[in-house]
Amino acid sequence: MAELGSKGVTAGKIASNVQKKLTRAQEKVLQKLGKADETKDEQFEQCVQNFNKQLTEGTRLQKDLRTYLASVKAMHEASKKLNECLQEVYEPDWPGRDEANKIAENNDLLWMDYHQKLVDQALLTMDTYLGQFPDIKSRIAKRGRKLVDYDSARHHFESLQTAKKKDEAKIAKAEEELIKAQKVFEEMNVDLQEELPSLWNSRVGFYVNTFQSIAGLEENFHKEMSKLNQNLNDVLVSLEKQHGSNTFTVKAQPSDNTATKGNKSPSPPPDGSPAATPDIRVNHEQEQAGMTEPGATLPKSPSQPGEVSEVAGGTEPAAETQEPRETAASETTSSSLPAVVVENFSATVNGAMEGSSGVGRLDLPPGFMFKVQAQHDYTATDTDELQLKAGDVVLVIPFQNPEEQDEGWLMGIKESDWNQHKEVEKCQGVFPENFTERVQ
């Protein structure tokens, strides 16, 4: 009998719950269709919005804090491995080995202490703060269900009162259910009306305490870590002083390899060969041929000063023989100069000849100075800028108005555009110098 009674109670409770769900579903449908009014509390709805926002922010903070702690732990492991490496390479007979090992141990303890304090003073506090939200959230949802029950009871009571044929017994029962539903709803509503604003206002103090704790722990950690690093530096300086003769010096490489290559002097020409290039010799011969008499004899090479003396002792006037002597002297001087000077002089003469004959640099824009290659992509932000991709070669030319040049910017033409169009005005543009590297 007791078992049957228990089954009856359970079945009755299930039936009651099913009936409540059906009644609530019908009430919501009627409210959505506009056939039944809905009790609304704008102030409470605002509190719910604040609650949801606060929960979202807190959840995000908890997630980011866990990420921060994971990073601290990863950094701890990396630092530990680095110190282990130092201990392995530190020879037993080197001074300061014990001090270095002690510093490594303290370093490891400091990281562990920092991580644990972050967990205790920040993460656990964060978990406690967020732990109150699930209960309040479930109570907000329950309050919503009780509000639907209250509206349903109210509408049922009103429909019985407005019916043509009134049943006083049903009206009395409906009124009793309405009072009961209203009481349950108001009790929950009053509690939440007090708790939600209080919870919303507590977020300020919580955020302040949390970030103050993190900042304070981080500040103290870096202070202690700075002391350990200074102690390690002192140990290493002492080691360096005792083994200073074996110190390995790192030599910096020049950033511009092309400029370095340009400064290297080529090997001087072998003895017996003309120091000047054929271009220089031909230029002097042309100049001499136009200024001497047909009977004059030119020196064969700068390495034959004896012939110059013979010419000077001939029947030619002194004014006419003076220039061959100067020519020979200048060529002899050129041969005695370092090769780099001869090379530059030759390039100047050749450049003049090329410019006068119109050959040699027809494939380059006027005023070409040097080439650069883009090391990074650059997106143009204005119509007068070049759009660059890594690897693009740019022919650098001077600004038409030097006053328009901004510091760190160059004027140039992409080599591909120049080869295709050969138009300076159409293809030129400015670009940042630090995105490129000089190649020529």
Q: Is 394 exposed, middle or buried (0-12, 13-18, 19+ CB in 10 A)?
A: buried
**What is the average pLDDT across 321-347?**
43
d(CA 325, CA 332): 10
CA 112/CA 122 separation, integer angstroms: 15
Measured CA distances, 347 to 228, 276, 302, 360 (Å)? 61, 11, 19, 12
Q: Give strand pairing partners of 385.
A: 430
The amino acid at 214: I
Task: List the structure tokens of 25.
Answer: 């579903």
**DSSP line for 287-331:** HHHTTS-TT----S-TT-HHHHHHHHTSSS-HHHHHHHHHHHHHH
**pLDDT, average across residues 335-364:** 44
Phi and psi at 389, nearest 5°, equal: -115, 150
CA angle centred on 160, ends 141 and 22, rounded to 5°? 35
Where is pLDDT greater, at 26 or 297?
A: 26
pLDDT in tens, 79-115: 999 999 999 999 988 999 999 999 999 999 999 999 9
Distance between CA 105 and CA 92 in Å, rounded? 17
- Which of the four pLDDT bands, split at 50, 70 and 90, describes residue 140? very high
Q: Higher confidence at residue 349 or residue 162? A: 162
Q: What is the pLDDT averaged over residues 248-263?
A: 49
- 272 — phi, psi (to 5°)? 95, -15
Of the candidates 266, 439, 254, 261, the residue with the CA atom closest to the CA atom of residue 344? 266
Domains of the chain: 39-243 (1.20.1270.60), 286-357 (no CATH), 370-438 (2.30.30.40)
Sign of CA dihedral 330, 331, 335, 339: positive
Residues 331 and 282: their CA atoms lie apart, in Å, by 12
